[in-house]
């Protein structure tokens, strides 16, 4: 049986790189279910992820138009691993503090599988003491962090804050899933 990854995409410019994560995981035989924050849909449409994954993308915690299941619970239960990529300062703060006000943060709270968080944001946001404290909180709870990398940011600066290379993220996911991935 194929391993299942729940890929949670939050609203940063690096959201387009999540498309490559889906494609590469599919090539490894991993089933990928994508969920998105509303802000993420401003950068990449759900349709793009649906075409790449072959699965419905969920963005609204309260959308029951397809079936009566409680999606943020069932998707969390079905996942072998959850990966948040890109993880903005906003979604990191929400998940570190148990705020569940969108599809991604609600699903995160219901997840009992291993979780990988891939930070991506402006370097000043990343270095902010609040963000650093939130990242430490996630690590203390056993959540794996991949990145961020150093490179050219959306603002034009070259600094820490870019999404880690897709190869590194996919490798971390495959390693966490074990030999069958």
Is the overall model pTM greater than 0.75, yes or no?
Answer: yes
Tens of pLDDT, residue by residue, the chain (181 residues): 689 999 999 999 999 999 999 999 999 999 999 999 999 999 999 999 999 999 999 887 777 666 656 677 788 788 899 999 999 999 999 999 999 999 999 999 999 999 999 999 999 999 999 999 999 999 999 999 999 999 888 888 888 999 999 999 999 999 999 876 5
Domain ranges of the chain: 4-177
Helix (H) or strand (E) holding 74: helix 71-78
Q: Active-site residue among 19, 83, 113, 155?
A: 155
| Token pair in block for residue 156 | 């034009």
User: CATH says 4-177 is which class?
Assistant: alpha beta
- The C-alpha atoms of residue 5 and residue 178 are separated, in whole angstroms, by 12
- The C-alpha atoms of residue 59 and residue 71 are separated, in whole angstroms, by 10
Torsion sign over Cα 56, 92, 19, 13: positive
> Is position 155 annotated as part of the catalytic site?
yes
Q: Assess contact for 172 and 144: CB atoms under 8 A.
A: yes
């Amino acid at each position: 049986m194929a391993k299942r990854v729940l890929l949670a995409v939050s609203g940063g410019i690096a959201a387009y790189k999540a498309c490559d994560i889906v494609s590469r995981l599919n090539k490894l035989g991993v089933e990928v279910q994508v969920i998105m924050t509303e802000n993420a849909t401003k950068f990449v449409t759900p349709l793009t992820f649906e075409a790449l994954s072959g699965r419905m993308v969920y963005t609204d915690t309260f959308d029951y138009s397809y079936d009566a299941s409680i999606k943020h619970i069932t998707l969390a239960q079905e996942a072998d691993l959850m990966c948040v990529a890109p993880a903005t300062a906003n979604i990191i703060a929400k998940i570190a503090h148990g705020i569940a006000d969108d599809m991604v943060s609600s699903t995160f709270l219901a997840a009992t599988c291993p979780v990988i968080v891939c930070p991506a944001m402006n370097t000043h946001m990343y270095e902010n003491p609040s963000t650093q404290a939130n990242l430490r909180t996630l690590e203390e709870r056993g959540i794996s962090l991949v990145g961020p990398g150093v490179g050219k940011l959306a603002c034009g600066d070259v600094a820490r804050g870019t999404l880690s290379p897709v190869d590194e993220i996919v490798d971390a996911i495959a390693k966490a899933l074990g030999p069958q991935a």
